[in-house]
Structure 1
Amino acid sequence: MRTLLLSLLFLLAVIKYSYGQTKVVTTSPTKTVFAYGGDLNKDFLKYVIGLTQKSNPKICFLPTAGADNPYVINYWYELCLNFPVKPSVQKMFVNSSPGQKSFAEHLLDMDAIVVGGGNTLNMMGIWRAQGIDTVLQKAYEKGIVLAGGSAGSLCWFTSGLSDSRPEKLSIVECLGFIKASHCPHFSSEKSRKPLYLESIRKKEIPAGYACDDLAGMLFQNGKLVKAVTLDKTNNVYFISEKDGKIDEQKLVTELIK
């Protein structure tokens, strides 16, 4: 009898303890990429700010594709004057000196990172040499908003076409956060669209998303959740191959301007 009573008391204690515990539910950060077809402008910057869900977000500009062009950097700061943000720039063409933050310390402290346009192939080479590809992967996993246009949109995808070499467009392998190919400037550059379609038809690159200069795509956790545009003439497309033929689908866009 005594053993049974002790067992019941122990069971009641366990039940009481269990009910008294607060269950902790952990959720992974939302991995966000906002890619737009053209280069940086105030409307897309405003959209990026909104994605951070912060009242005064820290946003860093990566001008690597433009070789850290000082005029582009000045333009970035001019754009940011119109918004409640804490802007910064991470240059890649730097000299070592004591007291500097590392690339990782700077970038992983941001609420958003915006990548500028220029030479995609050179940018990817520099990033890989400097370990920026690894830092951006950590930023993506951390939930820092990643954004950009032109080279700054192409970089997040598996691959795409870039005007990074003389003579003709070439295929460039990118970060692969979005498992699809990509083509910026889809309607504005005449040579880009037919070559992108042909590359997909020949299965040289995977199916993917094409974007006009004033349109953009919001991806969360690797999936397209919204296509947006600044006017009614710029669009987003999904391009795939079926039975050796191209299937070009114009996606529904939301006007954000």
Structure 2
Amino acid sequence: VYVGGGSTVNLLELWRRHAVAELVEQAAAQGTVLAGISAGMNCWYEASSTDSFGPLAPLNDGLGLLRGSACPHYRGEPGRRERYLGWVADGSLPAGYAVDDYAALLFRDGELSGGFAERPGSQAFRVGLDGGSAVEREIALQLLG
């Protein structure tokens, strides 16, 4: 199941109204591979950073198939990194994963098992708290091609 970008809020609302969310959860439990970019990344997590409302904002309403929060376009769009770090620091979003464009993370049974980059310089990070401040820990990515 591959989910592209768009509005995270609209995607989740439509899936829930039409019972697609339940079908996706059942498929995941049976081993179906789930993938996505942008809103398609956000939907799998408990929470995310989204511009579905216009300005970038925290959203604590994901499917919760992956624990924590997600931030796509991490260093590729102005303000994403700074806002995400702030939301993790102040508790608006739980700790989670921040991913640049052209990078991807791979989870197996809900646990991070690796990551890939399509272009040199694309990175991914675990973002968590350390002494009340949000900190990034780079995730090693395998460069494709």
Q: TM-score, normalised by structure 1?
A: 0.55
Higher normalized contact order (CA 8 Å, seq sep 6+, divided by chain length): 1
- Kindly state the Cα deviation for residue 195 of structure 1 after the two structures are TM-superposed: 0.8
Aligned to 1:106: none
- Kindly state the Cα deviation for residue 191 of structure 1 after the two structures are TM-superposed: 1.6
Q: How many aligned positions are there?
A: 144
Taking the aligned partners of 2:136 and 2:3, their CA distance within structure 1 comes to: 27
| Amino acid paired to 1:144 | T
Aligned to 2:44: 156
Larger radius of gyration: 1
Runs of 4 or more consecutive aligned structure 1 residues displaced over 2 Å after TM superposition:
none
Output the aligned Cα RMSD.
Answer: 0.9
Aligned to 1:177: 65
| Amino acid paired to 1:178 | L
Aligned to 1:189: 77
Within-5 A mapping of 1:33-182: 113-166=1-54, 168-172=55-59, 173-182=61-70
Q: Percent identity?
A: 33
| Amino acid paired to 1:122 | N
User: Do the aligned residues in 1 keep the contact of 2:85 with 2:135 (CA within 8 Å)?
Assistant: no
Structure richer in helix, relative to its length: 1
SS at match of 1:145: coil
Q: TM-score, normalised by structure 2?
A: 0.96
- Give 5+ residue unaligned stretches, structure 1: 1-112
Aligned to 2:91: 203
The worse-fitting range, judged by mean Cα deviation, of 217-226 and 188-197 is 188-197
- Give 5+ residue unaligned stretches, structure 2: none
SS at match of 2:81: helix
SS at match of 1:196: helix
Structure richer in strand, relative to its length: 2
- Kindly state the Cα deviation for residue 247 of structure 1 after the two structures are TM-superposed: 1.3
- Kindly state the Cα deviation for residue 204 of structure 1 after the two structures are TM-superposed: 1.4
